[in-house]
């Protein structure tokens, strides 16, 4: 509808729509769109001709130009961008394709017609050097076709038609952007979303009271949102309508229509409908109401919008569910899906249509809350939840608090209506539906994280991760996290050292981190442990039957081939958690921990034999004879003194190398001799624990170790250092020297506050490893401490490693956040998979 205001016509144009300019050549279309729309919104047929033919007036390129125009318009509409087509569009055939394009993308097609006099069009074309020779008959034909089309535009499918007659009306018109009726993204709640009521007014009043509403108003300003199916089957449809209409009118509620409201609304309009599925009861109940109330109900039902997009796009409420491609769209197809859902075309044994399991395939960012199909329990599935818990069938009436994601329900007073089909024993699709899909991880991707924005994953890295994940990884349901890589300290200039704590302390001081914790670096294998309170908790939260958790490596592989060993470790860990009282203290039935499993030889026996022991054995076989020969030659007076000294140094280095790796090897028998050193709690039910300060974390872990009666758990030694205090820094260096001097691997320096940002707002490194002088022989070779080797090795490039560490850290935190928020497995694994993909980035493996 076109309005008027002082100074000219007002043309309302929907924010997401396909706007088609209709007018003869020279009618002022390009001038009009420049005045009223953003340049990026406008696609001109002349410009597209120029793209394909280097000549905007080449009529021979028209077909190709419109192929380009339609392609660009389709891409913009798919992305949810308003698109304006600047072309003559005076012929029905040219408009038909544009209307079809709008329908394909479920947006409104809008026509703005410039009915400009022929003489004005001719004068404008004559003034243009590129149009001066346009025959007058072309303009005349355009105007004839335009005026012949005017009365047909709405029948062609245009939802709004604005006709501007004459130059003055076009020049003084104002285009005003209107939001879609379903776009309530500015409303952020909090909301209480109520499932299908079906005339159960007593249950509705009880639920509203339980939610805290008094006379339909919440004292804290919460807004109720009803998912439809207010009427039919139950004992008091008028009472439900009266309460909901009153709340909507007062502004304390929103409501979307259900299929039952749609059918009753058609009845009120005099349409012929079958009085089945509870409609007869509603009609009989409403016959006892006044004509005025029935008229109010009819007006209310006519004004209901198919679905709402709320809370900045994070929440979609509809009756029967809605795939992401329909969110915020406006078409009959969208409304039909929101009201009725989709079916497979089959019928079940009760003669009812089989619903298409759209939620199993859902991958959208917005949570979709809906009803329509009764289920005994409301459960989350791929960020969707059905709130129809069969109140009218004797089940319960359920509401979802948003953003808290808390469920509140009241039982039905009785069975008000016998269902045609028994309630399902589980939500559609089971616990996770079809949780993982190749399309979720394949190809180049960008994973959105809360702490570091978008993290890109290259296609070749994704392919490498897919190979590992599909062939070697643990059960993905029990693989909710992978730890990030860790950057070493900056290269040290201290004589005889490649890595030294001073560089780590200085790096954090530069980032403004005043206090750090130095944690003993255990020489073992990185292990992530997921331990559940019992098998029932594992089944309930992670959907597995049998295992009570998992124990896996930093690349997601199970630690042991023998599942019994894994379960035995989990049993000992579970006992320590139980005796320490952490289940109740943290309010959880499961814990995810980061740890080190020792000895190193337990997992790396093959590597030790192939790589390290072979070097030690070769040195042991060669150097004694070589030294004996050189000493004999020196005894005979040969000038081999310098060579003998050099070989003695090399023999000593080889012996030090052998001693270094042997420190981390010891025999084990089953779990005898195995130690697990947890150093961080990662997550629990509803909580990402990795963001908690390290001192509090280590205190909880110390309690676990203290209550471990099996001898499995081992404490992680630590020292707190003030980076701005020279004495504290010196103590930190001495502690490291003492520990590495006794054969320790080194230490990890971490900001005490865990999740810390520098002065520039960016994340600082979550940890910097500082390895001992002797341990680095294993990494860089027996003779790396020679001055010439150290000089060469100091030219190492750390920026890429540091960048990887931060990106993997952000992905790991995102996985934990999604896990804690109860997001579907595919969302958690999107971040987990990203960590594994980045691990295939080419980087110096010694860092």
pLDDT digits (tens, 9 = 90+) for 464-478: 888 888 888 899 999
Query: Per the structure block, which two tokens stand in for 590?
Result: 């499961």
Q: Would residue 257 count as lying in a domain?
A: yes
Q: With bands split at pLDDT 50, 70 and 90, how would you rate the model's confidence at 428?
A: very low
* Better pLDDT: 656 or 305: 305
Average pLDDT over residues 528-538: 95
Helix ranges restricted to H, 213-313: 237-250, 259-268, 279-287, 291-302
Mark whether 113 and 262 lie in a shared domain.
no
Mark whether 156 and 216 lie in a shared domain.
no
Give the pLDDT score at 132.
62
Mark whether 270 and 390 lie in a shared domain.
yes
Mark whether 390 and 282 lie in a shared domain.
yes
Residue 17 lies in domain: 3-178
* Better pLDDT: 674 or 666: 674
Q: With bands split at pLDDT 50, 70 and 90, how would you rate the model's confidence at 662?
A: confident
Average pLDDT over residues 639-644: 85
Mark whether 221 and 350 lie in a shared domain.
yes
* Number of C-beta neighbours around residue 800 at 10 A: 14
d(CA 355, CA 41): 39
Last residue of a domain, one of 630, 662, 694: 662
Instruction: Work out how many domains the chain is built from and give that number.
Output: 3
Q: Is the pLDDT of residue 719 over 80?
A: yes
pLDDT digits (tens, 9 = 90+) for 767-804: 999 999 988 988 888 888 898 888 888 888 888 899 99
Q: Is the pLDDT of residue 503 over 60?
A: yes
* Better pLDDT: 2 or 670: 670
Mark whether 199 and 271 lie in a shared domain.
yes
Q: Would residue 149 count as lying in a domain?
A: yes
* 592 within 8 A of 480, measured Cβ to Cβ: yes
Q: With bands split at pLDDT 50, 70 and 90, how would you rate the model's confidence at 36?
A: very high
For residue 384, give the CATH number of its domain.
3.60.21.10
Q: Would residue 589 count as lying in a domain?
A: no
d(CA 102, CA 158): 9
Give the pLDDT score at 425.
44
d(CA 843, CA 847): 8
The set of residues, in sequence order, having a beta carbon less than 8 Å from that of 400 and lying 6+ positions away, is 192, 193, 369, 378, 385, 387, 406, 407, 408
d(CA 360, CA 358): 5
Average model confidence (pLDDT) across the chain: 90
The percent of residues in the chain predicted with pLDDT above 70, rounded, is 96
Last residue of a domain, one of 145, 178, 211: 178
Q: Would residue 802 count as lying in a domain?
A: no
Buried/exposed 650-679: b ≥16 CB within 10 Å, e otherwise: bbebbeebbebbebbbeeeeebeebbbbbb
Buried/exposed 310-335: b ≥16 CB within 10 Å, e otherwise: bbeebbbbbbbbbbeebbbbbbeebb
Q: Would residue 607 count as lying in a domain?
A: yes
Average pLDDT over residues 602-630: 80
Give the pLDDT score at 600.
78
Mark whether 171 and 267 lie in a shared domain.
no
pLDDT digits (tens, 9 = 90+) for 44-96: 999 999 999 998 888 888 899 999 999 999 999 999 999 999 999 999 999 99
Q: Would residue 452 count as lying in a domain?
A: no
Q: Is the pLDDT of residue 720 over 50?
A: yes
For residue 95, give the CATH number of its domain.
3.40.50.300
Buried/exposed 507-539: b ≥16 CB within 10 Å, e otherwise: bbeebebebbbbbbbbbbbbbbbbbbbeeebbb
Q: Is the pLDDT of residue 6 over 70?
A: no
Last residue of a domain, one of 390, 411, 432: 411
The set of residues, in sequence order, having a beta carbon less than 8 Å from that of 632 and lying 6+ positions away, is none
Average pLDDT over residues 681-698: 94
Give the pLDDT score at 38.
95
Q: Would residue 29 count as lying in a domain?
A: yes
Give the pLDDT score at 612.
79
Polymer length in residues for the chain: 847
Mark whether 149 and 229 lie in a shared domain.
no
* Better pLDDT: 130 or 367: 367
Its pTM stands at 0.71
pLDDT digits (tens, 9 = 90+) for 225-280: 999 999 999 999 999 999 999 999 999 999 999 999 999 999 999 898 899 888 99
Query: Per the structure block, which two tokens stand in for 213?
Result: 């509403």
Tokens 């019928």 -> residue:
347
Q: Quick check: helix, strand or coil at residue 236?
A: coil
Mark whether 348 and 394 lie in a shared domain.
yes
Cα end-to-end span (Å), the chain: 67
Query: Per the structure block, which two tokens stand in for 173?
Result: 């018109």
Give the pLDDT score at 493.
86
Mark whether 148 and 248 lie in a shared domain.
no
Q: Is the pLDDT of residue 337 over 90?
A: yes
Q: With bands split at pLDDT 50, 70 and 90, how would you rate the model's confidence at 345?
A: low
Q: With bands split at pLDDT 50, 70 and 90, how would you rate the model's confidence at 349?
A: low
Q: With bands split at pLDDT 50, 70 and 90, how would you rate the model's confidence at 609?
A: confident
pLDDT digits (tens, 9 = 90+) for 728-749: 999 999 999 999 998 889 999 9
Average pLDDT over residues 554-569: 91
Q: With bands split at pLDDT 50, 70 and 90, how would you rate the model's confidence at 570?
A: very high
Mark whether 146 and 202 lie in a shared domain.
no
Which H or E run contains 171? helix 166-172
* Better pLDDT: 342 or 156: 156
Average pLDDT over residues 806-814: 94
The percent of residues in the chain predicted with pLDDT above 90, rounded, is 64
Mark whether 230 and 156 lie in a shared domain.
no
Give the pLDDT score at 424.
55
Q: Would residue 685 count as lying in a domain?
A: no
d(CA 564, CA 639): 64
**Alpha carbon of residue 736 to chain centroid:** 40
């Amino acid at each position: 509808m076109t309005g008027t205001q002082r100074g000219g016509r007002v043309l309302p144009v929907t924010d997401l729509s396909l706007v088609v300019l209709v007018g003869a050549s020279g009618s002022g279309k390009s001038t009009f769109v420049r005045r009223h729309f953003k340049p990026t919104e406008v696609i001109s047929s002349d410009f597209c001709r120029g793209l394909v033919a280097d000549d905007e007036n080449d009529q021979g390129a028209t077909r190709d130009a419109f192929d380009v125009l339609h392609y660009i318009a389709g891409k913009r509409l798919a992305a949810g961008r308003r698109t304006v087509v600047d072309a003559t569009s005076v012929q029905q055939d040219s408009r038909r394709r544009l209307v079809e394009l709008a329908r394909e993308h479920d947006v409104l097609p809008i026509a703005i017609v410039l009915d400009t006099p022929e003489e004005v069009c001719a004068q404008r074309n004559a003034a243009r050097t590129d149009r001066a020779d346009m025959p007058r008959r072309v303009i005349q034909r355009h105007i004839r076709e335009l005026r012949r089309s005017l009365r047909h535009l709405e029948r062609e499918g245009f939802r709004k038609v604005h006709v501007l007659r004459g130059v003055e009306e076009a020049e003084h018109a104002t285009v005003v952007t209107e939001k879609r009726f379903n776009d309530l993204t500015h409303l952020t709640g909090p909301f209480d979303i109520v499932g299908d009521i079906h005339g159960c007014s007593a249950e509705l009043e009880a639920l509203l009271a339980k939610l805290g509403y008094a006379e339909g108003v919440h004292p804290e300003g919460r807004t109720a949102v009803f998912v439809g199916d207010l009427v039919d089957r139950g004992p008091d449809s008028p009472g439900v309508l009266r309460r909901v209409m009153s709340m909507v009118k007062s502004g304390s509620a929103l409501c979307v229509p259900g299929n039952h409201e749609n059918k009753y609304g058609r009845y009120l309009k005099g349409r012929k409908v079958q009085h089945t599925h509870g409609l007869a009861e509603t009609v009989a109940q409403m016959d006892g109401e006044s004509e005025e109330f029935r008229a109010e109900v009819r007006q209310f039902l006519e004004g209901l919008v198919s679905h709402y997009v709320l809370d900045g796009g994070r929440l979609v409420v509809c009756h029967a569910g809605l795939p992401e491609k329909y969110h915020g769209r406006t078409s009959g197809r969208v409304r039909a899906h929101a009201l009725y859902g989709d079916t497979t075309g089959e019928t079940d044994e009760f003669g009812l249509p089989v619903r298409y399991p759209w939620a199993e395939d859902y991958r959208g960012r917005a949570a979709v809350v809906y009803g329509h199909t009764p289920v005994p329990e409301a459960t989350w599935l791929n960020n969707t939840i059905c709130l129809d818990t069969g109140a009218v069938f004797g089940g319960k009436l359920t509401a979802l608090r948003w953003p808290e994601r808390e469920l509140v329900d009241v039982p039905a007073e009785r069975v008000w209506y016998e269902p045609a089909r028994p309630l399902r024993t589980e939500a559609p699709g089971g616990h996770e539906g079809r949780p993982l899909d190749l399309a979720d991880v394949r190809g180049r991707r960008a994973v959105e994280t809360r702490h570091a924005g978008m993290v890109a994953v290259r296609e070749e890295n994704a392919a490498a991760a897919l190979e590992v994940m599909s062939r070697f990884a643990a059960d993905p349901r029990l693989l909710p996290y992978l730890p990030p890589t860790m950057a070493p300290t900056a290269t040290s200039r201290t004589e005889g050292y490649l890595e030294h704590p001073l560089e780590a302390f200085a790096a954090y001081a530069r980032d403004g981190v005043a206090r750090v914790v130095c944690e003993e670096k255990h020489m073992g294998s990185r292990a992530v442990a997921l331990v559940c309170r019992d098998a029932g908790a594992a089944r309930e939260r992670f959907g597995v039957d049998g295992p009570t958790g998992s124990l896996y490596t930093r690349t997601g592989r199970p630690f042991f081939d023998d599942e019994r060993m894994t379960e035995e470790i989990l049993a000992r860990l579970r006992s320590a958690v139980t005796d320490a009282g952490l289940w109740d203290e943290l309010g959880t039935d499961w814990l995810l921990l980061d740890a080190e499993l020792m000895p190193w030889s337990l997992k790396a026996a093959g590597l030790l034999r192939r790589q390290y022991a072979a070097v030690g054995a070769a040195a042991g076989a060669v150097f004694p004879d070589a030294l004996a020969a050189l000493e004999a030659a020196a005894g005979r007076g040969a000038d081999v003194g310098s060579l003998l000294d050099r070989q003695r140094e090399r023999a000593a280095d080889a012996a030090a190398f052998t001693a270094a790796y042997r420190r981390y090897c010891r025999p084990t028998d089953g779990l005898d001799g195995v130690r697990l050193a947890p150093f961080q709690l990662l997550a629990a039910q509803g909580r990402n624990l990795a963001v908690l300060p390290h001192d509090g974390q280590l205190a909880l872990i110390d309690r676990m170790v203290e209550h471990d009666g099996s001898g499995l758990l081992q404490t992680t030694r630590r020292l707190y250092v003030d980076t701005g205090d020279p004495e504290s820094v010196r103590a930190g260096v001495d502690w490291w020297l003492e520990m590495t001097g006794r054969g320790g691997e080194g230490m990890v320096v971490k900001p005490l506050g865990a999740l810390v940002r520098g002065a520039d707002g960016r994340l600082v490194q979550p940890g910097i490893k500082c390895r001992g002088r002797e341990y680095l022989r294993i990494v860089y070779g027996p003779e790396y401490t020679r001055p010439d080797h150290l000089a060469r090795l100091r030219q190492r490039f750390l920026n890429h490693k540091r960048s990887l560490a931060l990106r993997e850290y952000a992905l790991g935190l995102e996985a934990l956040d999604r896990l804690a928020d109860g997001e579907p497995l595919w969302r958690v694994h999107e971040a987990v998979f990203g960590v594994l993909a980045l691990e295939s980035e080419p980087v110096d493996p010694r860092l």
